[in-house]
Every structure is written in structure tokens, then in C-alpha cells.
Amino acid sequence: MAADSSTWDFTTIPDLCMRAAEAYGTDVAIEDGDVSMSFVELDGMRRKVAKSFIAHGVKKGDKVMIWSPNCWKWFAAALGLVSAGAVLIPCSTRFKGTEVAELIQRSGASMILSVGEFLGSYYPDMLGPEARQALRAVVVFDGARPGEMAWDAFLAAGASVSDAELDARQASVDPDDLCDMLFTSGTTGYPKGVMYGHRQCLRAIDAWATRVGIRRGDRILVIPPFFHAFGYRSGAIVSLMRGGVLIPHLTYDPEEILKRVERDKISVIPGPPAIFHGMLQHPQLKLFDTDSLRLGITGGSVVPSTLIRRMRSDLGFAGVVNGYGLTECGGYGTMCRADDDAGVIADTCGKPFPETEVRIMDTEGDVLPDGERGEVVIRGYITMRGYFNDPEATAKTIDADGWLHTGDIGYFDADGNLRIEDRVKDMYITGGFNCYPAEIERLLSAHPSVGQIAVIGVPDDRLGEVGKAFVVLRPGTTATEKELIDWARAHIANFKVPRSVEFRDALPTSPQGKVVKDQLREAVPGAA
């Protein structure tokens, strides 16, 4: 088989694993601490894990949850369970027992694979009696305690399943079967399972990898958690597809990331802007050797052009690409090309994926011409099958014509590149003028002392709402509230200028690396 995956006809994830083993052979597939596995070895482990799921009674279509930080066992477990025809339910390591119990109940998960000790807690201890009763087994990757099943014991059970039985099960997995459900809360307050199929998942990842330019042999440091689309699809699976080396990273720490870049000769880092902000903010950045960096891939929120340029100049990335996507579209939507002009990469999210429509729509449901601002809507193979067991929420998100409503505000420029302005819910109104925090953040990021910034709307007796900026200064710089506000008044429209500035050492971020504005709002009485 040719190693060029661009000629592959993508069908199912287990089929991808077999093709990768044939194409990339003894090339290194995963490096995780002392563990190094080739593509052939990874495929063998996948089969072993799949047999173990079958031995433990997992049927085609069963839901299986993984509750763990990034590690090789997470990925091997995911590949094994989908090879057995089960549906992957990734679970955030930030979740507590009550949240996991709700996810088990909503998803119908019948089995969970969990980390043991992590961040000072033994995770299975958080599971209450009701959650445990719904599960046929709790498998612990490392350090299992009495009452839980150790990883090695789980794998040993697979010896009772023959190759023929596994092959038959794999053959029953259809390209249109579900491969995973990623849960997202959105505006309804309860988690909704985004249903995604094997073929559409692989098609989207292939299109994305082609756009950004992932190469065989790339050493890919995956910092976004595997329980998120960015980490799982644009980190782990893409490594398997393109013959890259998957290097999982446990927790976000800028200094540790810089050390790993130097020690492990990292060439590719996918992740949201906060990851790169953190690296750039490190006071000793210049002491680290980052010459191995080739490609920085960001997105997931509005990205200031200043950040893109600093990723090139200060971190040394030869290429930087920017994109836009959401969980309901597999984490995808639009993407710049690796060879796009620097201005396009810095200021836009690129063009829609092949065979995918992205349009701008007004509040009446009419498609707007290029240049006009409205809600971004998406239609095509990348859109989800719907929300699991929630037809009402599905109907609110995907309209009768098949358009998925993103809740994001944007427009297309004259060259057909998407420019995202903000989330609909983050917009606030100052004296009758619509203010989009992400636009203001992008503009204020040009100030030489601003390292990272987040803007929210806060109540104001005269204007209704005004902007409040939370700022992390660049290392070695200083600025006062008055200086930043005066600079803003000289550079942007008056109604967009924040009326107050609060300086912080860091901004609160989610496991995906996005700034959690709700936590900033909680600190301000009445903030929208």
C-alpha cells in the first residue's frame, strides 16, 4: 500500500488503523513517557483492546466513557472500543462525580475507563453508588484500588476472543455508524451529545490535515485534551492518518511545554490561542530552543493578528494557520491553507471545507451577501447527526433547510475568507451601539504592553452597558488603566473603548484553553 493517505478511501476508524499500520509500519506512532509504539504495535494494541471490550460484553452500539487526561492508554482504549462497534463518550477531567453521573445517565454509558490518581484525587472515588450501578465495569488505567478493574486485568480477558470473532465484529461496523458523542452544554444548561459518524469524522480530519499541511514524521505535541474535538481529532487521529508521532501532554503549563519543545524536538502544536499566549508570556522564553517548531495551528476563538505574528517572530514557527469550527461540526468549519498569505492567516479563519457550505444569515433567515455581518451557518457532511435523544434541541440548531446555526457573528471578505467577530451571546450594547468583545480584544491586542485580554459587558446607569477589560501584561512591560484607555480612545471608536481595566496575572481558562468569561462575569455584579 502507498503511504500517501491522500489516495485512501476513508470508511471507518478501525479501517484507518489497519491502513496506517500497513503504510507507516515501524515508524513511531506514539511517544508517551517511557512508552514508544510503532504503527504496527499500535494496531496490535488496538486489536487487543477491542477483544477485551468484546470479552466484557460490550455490544455494537454500546456507549463507553473515557475519563482521563491525555495518555497513550486513552487513545488505545478509544481505538479499541470503536473497533468493537461501540460509541466513544469522552468525559472532561474537570468534571466531578455528580457531573459524570449525569453524563452516564444521559448517554447510557455502560462502562467507564478512568485515570486513577490525578491532580490530588483518585477519580473513581468520585463515582457515587447510582453511577456505579449503571456501569458493568470501572477500568482504571494506572493504580487501580480494590473494587475497580486494573488495565492489565482488563486486557487479559481479551485472550478468550479469537481473531475471527474480532474480524467479524469489525466488519459489522458501517461507515455511517456512530463513532463518538462529544457532550457540550451550550445555552440550555444541560449537556447535549453531539452524534458523529465514522466516515464523516475521517473525511473532515483528512480535509483539515490537507489544508494545514500535516506531514509524515511530524512530531505533534497534543496539549488540548482528548475529550475535546481539537485534541482527539486534530491531534490524535490526524497523527494516525498522516503518519505523525503523537506526543500526548497531560496538563497545560507554559514552561513545561517550552521544555518539551526543546527536549522532544516538537514540530507541530495544535491548540487554542491561550496555549500560545502562555508560551509567549513566559519571562525566559528566549532561553528555550524552539528551532524545531514548524507549524502552529490555532483557532477555537477569535485570534488577534498580533498573536499570529508573534507566533512566527517570537516562537519561531515557520508556518501558522488559523481556523474556525465547533463541536457540532466535528470541530471544523473553515480553515486557512498552510501557504496562505500572512495577512489572510492573521486576520481571517480561511475558507470553507470542500463540499461544505458556510454562509452568513440575518435574523429573518435570509442569506446575506459577502461583506455583511450576521450569524454564521453551516451545511454539509461535517454537520452533526443531531443531539442524542434530543430532537427539540436538534431542531433549534439545524433548521428545516439543513443549516446549522452556530451562534457566532461573522462575515466573508472580498476574497471569500471568513472573519469571525464574536459570539452572539457575548455581544453587549453601549448607548445603542452593538459591541463585539472579540473585535475589541483584537484591536487592543496591538498595544505593546498587552499580552492577553478579555472584554465583557458590565452594567452602566447612563449607557446601559459598557466594556470592562481584563488584561495580562507582557513580561517586562508596564501600563496603567488610564494609559490603556487613552490609547484605546486614540485608536478605536469611542463606544468600543472599555470604561475600566483590571490587571491580572492570568485569565481563567477551560481545559480546552479558552478564556472562561463566565468566571470573569461572576466577579462583576450584574455583568452580562
Query: What CATH number is attached to the domain comprising 371?
Result: 3.40.50.12780
Residue 317 corresponds to which amino acid? F
Could you tell me which residue, 29 or 95, shows the higher pLDDT? 29
Do residues 63 and 183 make contact, with C-beta atoms less than 8 angstroms apart?
no
Q: Is 524 helix (H, G, I), strand (E, B) or coil?
A: coil
Statement: residue 62 has pLDDT above 60: yes
In-domain check, residue 499: yes
Same domain membership, residue 147 and residue 288: no
For residue 159, give the DSSP letter: G
**59-68, 309-318, 431-440: lowest mean pLDDT where?**
431-440
In-domain check, residue 192: no
- Of 406, 423, 440, which marks where a domain is finished? 423
> How does the average pLDDT of the chain come out, rounded?
91
Same domain membership, residue 433 and residue 321: no
Same domain membership, residue 456 and residue 419: no
pLDDT over 70 for what percent of the chain? 95
* Dihedral sign for Cα atoms in the order 374, 380, 383, 389: positive
Same domain membership, residue 117 and residue 14: yes
Could you tell me which residue, 439 or 372, shows the higher pLDDT? 372
Q: Is the pTM of this model over 0.75?
A: yes
* Dihedral sign for Cα atoms in the order 489, 494, 498, 500: positive
Statement: residue 188 has pLDDT above 50: no
247-263: pLDDT as tens digits: 999 988 899 999 999 99
pLDDT over 90 for what percent of the chain? 72
**89-103, 313-327, 428-442: lowest mean pLDDT where?**
428-442
Q: 349: which 3 cell numbers?
A: 479563519
Same domain membership, residue 49 and residue 25: yes
Number of domains within the chain = 3
Reported as a pLDDT band with limits 50, 70 and 90, residue 223 is very high
- Of 149, 164, 182, which marks where a domain is finished? 182
For 276, residues 6+ apart whose C-beta sits below 8 A from its C-beta are 269, 296, 298, 307, 310, 311, 315
9-20: pLDDT as tens digits: 889 999 999 999
Same domain membership, residue 147 and residue 60: yes
In-domain check, residue 508: yes
Quote the domain boundaries for residue 488. 427-522
Statement: residue 2 has pLDDT above 50: no
In-domain check, residue 409: yes
Report which of 36, 37, 33, 35 is spatially closest to residue 20, judged by C-alpha positions. Answer: 37
- Of 182, 207, 242, which marks where a domain is finished? 182
In-domain check, residue 460: yes
Instruction: Label residue 40 exposed, middle or buried (CB < 10 Å: 0-12, 13-18, 19+).
Output: middle
Using CA atoms, how far residue 15 sits from 88, 201, 267, in Å, is 17, 13, 27
In-domain check, residue 229: no
Same domain membership, residue 332 and residue 372: yes
Same domain membership, residue 61 and residue 173: yes
pLDDT at res. 94 = 82
pLDDT at res. 6 = 59
Could you tell me which residue, 227 or 338, shows the higher pLDDT? 227
In-domain check, residue 177: yes
Statement: residue 208 has pLDDT above 90: yes
Q: 122: which 3 cell numbers?
A: 483518585
461-478: pLDDT as tens digits: 777 789 999 999 999 999
Reported as a pLDDT band with limits 50, 70 and 90, residue 424 is low
Same domain membership, residue 272 and residue 410: yes
Residue 496 corresponds to which amino acid? K
Same domain membership, residue 9 and residue 147: yes
Rounded Cα distance, 113 and 124, in Å: 9
Query: What CATH number is attached to the domain comprising 448?
Result: 3.30.300.30
Same domain membership, residue 267 and residue 362: yes
Statement: residue 61 has pLDDT above 60: yes
In-domain check, residue 379: yes
Could you tell me which residue, 274 or 412, shows the higher pLDDT? 412
pLDDT at res. 185 = 61
Same domain membership, residue 278 and residue 401: yes
Query: What CATH number is attached to the domain comprising 36?
Result: 3.40.50.980
